């Protein structure tokens, strides 16, 4: 009998050690692959951002250069207007009119010294020069002035050569008057004629306005692209992580299959050899327990069909299982309604979630404390709460505890709560979260299941 029991213990130990080694190697391999993929994606996103910034800078420089060119074009157009107003028999009107009529893009409004509109060009509005139209043009011209887009040209002024000769004559006359001690007052022709002028008010062309807006549109597109890329990155990472856990679960179930079959056979042999032994029924229960665990792991990643189950009965099974495997210093109590609470469940997976929460609670209480399980039926959902008197969870870790790899145990893998969350949310369309927790007082986990 001792030989058989020893053999069973060795087989169980072998299952455990093989399983840990397999989990470790498989996890390391997948994490290395995830890290490489993550680095490649980050590099691609960084290159996309650099290209977008370079494109924005190029667009900005192009817009600025076009703005300078348009300003120079308006100055030439204003000079043509002055030449047209000062035209005589020696003026080449063909060239002047060609410059004036060549402006087909830049909006301009010409106003006299009294603020009256004389003419306009490239204003995107068709109207007659009545009072309403003049008021509209004057208001538009004032807006152009406020933006600093105005050029003032003086009429009947001499050209540069004539102005230079006049300045020399005035200078000679002043010098002669000083030698004769004669008091003179000199009136500059430019000052004398300063009252006659035109104001050329102009605005940016439609093309320049579009180019000015284009960098912002481009920036918005880049931001949207980056957000989508980051979202896709996280989605792919989450998908890869899910594949890791599914692969681990199925491989674990596969590795457990053969030893469990062997243990079941040896259990049958022992029952025939020692039919009155009191330990054999308990050993048989544990072997069946291992079989159910392997079945649970094999179902992760597949789509098991939920069936109507009594939540109260499942929770009672969880309490019964945990009571036989925990210290007498830990008291586990199940508070359930008198009537059955029927919900569509995958019983084996949901029972594992309850056991996992209870095991975590036992670990958090260091072998001494109390666990209360409450089942409450509402109109549209069923709530299950697991209340313990453990060490508690910091508030900033309420969501982190469900992430794969997060653990506070020295030998923990950080997979339990992650798999529990997956089972509740994906297979049962429910929710699992930390309802409340206080350091040194205890924690309450809550599961919400739709009816």
What confidence score (pLDDT) does residue 31 get?
Answer: 57
Of 2-11, 154-163, 296-305, the poorest mean pLDDT is in 2-11
- For 280-336, the pLDDT digits (tens) are 887 887 888 788 777 767 766 667 788 999 999 999 999 988 888 888 889 999 999
Please check the confidence at residue 380 and state whether its pLDDT lies above 80.
yes
What confidence score (pLDDT) does residue 275 get?
Answer: 81
What confidence score (pLDDT) does residue 165 get?
Answer: 44
Architecture (CATH level 2) of domain 304-450: 2-Layer Sandwich (3.30)
- For 411-444, the pLDDT digits (tens) are 666 678 888 998 899 889 999 999 999 998 999 9
More confident residue, 366 or 303: 366
What confidence score (pLDDT) does residue 381 get?
Answer: 93
Each domain of the chain, given as residue ranges in start order, spans 1-103+207-302, 107-164+174-203, 304-450
What confidence score (pLDDT) does residue 449 get?
Answer: 94
What confidence score (pLDDT) does residue 256 get?
Answer: 78
What HEC string does the chain produce?
CHHHHHHHHHHHHHHHHHHHHHHHHHHHHHHHHHHHHHHHHHHHHHHHHHHHHHHHHHHHHHHHHHHHHHHHHHHHHHHHHHHHHCCCCCCCHHHHHHHHHCCCCCCEEEEECCCCEEEEECCCCCCCCCHHHHHHHHHHHHHHHHCCCEEEEECCCCCHHHHHHHHHHHHHHHHHHHHCCCCCCCCCHHHHCCCCEEEEEECCCHHHHHHHHHHHHHHHHHHHHHHHHHHHHHHHHHHHHHHHHHHHHHHHHHHHHHHHHHHHHHHHHHHHHCCCCCHHHHHHHHHHHHHHHHHHHHHECECCCCEEEEHHHHHHHHHHHHHCCCCCCEEEEEECCCCCCEEEECHHHHHHHHHHHHHHHHHHCCCCEEEEEEEEECCCEEEEEEEECCCCCCHHHCCHHHCCCCCCCCCCCCCHHHHHHHHHHHHHCCEEEEEEEECCCEEEEEEEEEC
Q: What percent of the chain has pLDDT over 70?
A: 76
What confidence score (pLDDT) does residue 309 get?
Answer: 93
pLDDT band at 195 (very low <50, low <70, confident <90, very high): low
What confidence score (pLDDT) does residue 149 get?
Answer: 85
Please check the confidence at residue 22 and state whether its pLDDT lies above 60.
no
Of 89-98, 109-118, 184-193, 381-390, the poorest mean pLDDT is in 184-193
Please check the confidence at residue 14 and state whether its pLDDT lies above 70.
no
Q: What is the mean pLDDT of residues 79-104?
A: 79
More confident residue, 243 or 142: 142
Whether pTM > 0.85 for this model: the answer is no
């Amino acid at each position: 009998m001792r030989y058989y029991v020893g053999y069973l213990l060795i087989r169980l130990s072998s299952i455990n050690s093989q399983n840990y080694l397999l989990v470790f190697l498989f996890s390391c391999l997948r994490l290395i692959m995830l890290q490489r993929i993550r680095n490649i994606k980050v590099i691609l996103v960084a290159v996309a951002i650099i290209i977008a910034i370079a494109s924005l800078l190029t667009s900005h420089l192009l817009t600025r250069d076009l703005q300078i060119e348009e300003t120079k074009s308006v100055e030439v157009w204003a000079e043509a207007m002055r030449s047209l107003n000062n035209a005589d028999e020696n003026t080449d009107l063909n060239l002047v009119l060609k410059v004036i009529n060549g402006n087909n893009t830049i909006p301009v409004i010409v106003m006299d010294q009294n603020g009256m509109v004389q003419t306009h060009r490239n204003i995107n509005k068709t109207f007659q020069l009545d009072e309403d139209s003049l008021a509209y043009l004057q208001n538009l011209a004032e807006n152009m002035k406020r933006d600093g887009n105005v050029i003032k040209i003086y009429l009947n002024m001499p050209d540069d050569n004539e102005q230079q000769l006049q300045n020399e004559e005035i200078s000679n006359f002043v010098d002669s008057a000083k030698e004769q001690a004669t008091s003179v007052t000199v009136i500059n022709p430019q000052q004398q004629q300063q009252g006659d002028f035109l104001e050329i008010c102009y605005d940016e062309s439609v093309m320049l306005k579009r180019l000015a807006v284009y960098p912002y549109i481009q920036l918005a597109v880049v931001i949207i692209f980056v957000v989508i890329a980051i979202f896709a990155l996280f989605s792919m990472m989450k998908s890869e992580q899910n594949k890791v856990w599914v692969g681990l679960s199925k491989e674990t179930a596969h590795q457990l299959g053969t030893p469990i079959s062997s243990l079941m056979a040896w259990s049958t042999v022992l029952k025939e050899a020692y039919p009155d032994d009191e330990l054999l029924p308990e050993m048989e229960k544990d072997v069946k327990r291992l079989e159910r665990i392997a079945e649970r792991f094999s179902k992760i990643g597949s789509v098991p069909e939920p069936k109507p189950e009594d939540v109260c009965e499942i929770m009672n099974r969880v309490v019964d299982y945990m009571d036989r495997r925990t210290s007498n210093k830990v008291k586990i109590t199940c508070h359930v309604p008198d009537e059955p609470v029927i919900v569509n469940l995958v019983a084996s997976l949901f029972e594992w979630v309850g056991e996992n929460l209870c095991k975590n609670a036992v670990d958090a209480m260091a072998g001494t404390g109390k666990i209360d399980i409450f089942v409450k039926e509402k109109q549209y959902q069923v709530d299950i709460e697991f209340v313990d008197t453990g060490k508690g969870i910091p508030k900033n870790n309420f969501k982190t505890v469900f992430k794969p790899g997060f653990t506070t145990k020295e030998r923990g893998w950080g997979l339990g709560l992650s798999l529990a969350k997956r089972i509740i949310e994906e297979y049962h369309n429910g929710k699992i979260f930390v309802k409340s927790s206080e350091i040194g007082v205890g924690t309450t986990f809550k599961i919400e299941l739709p009816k």
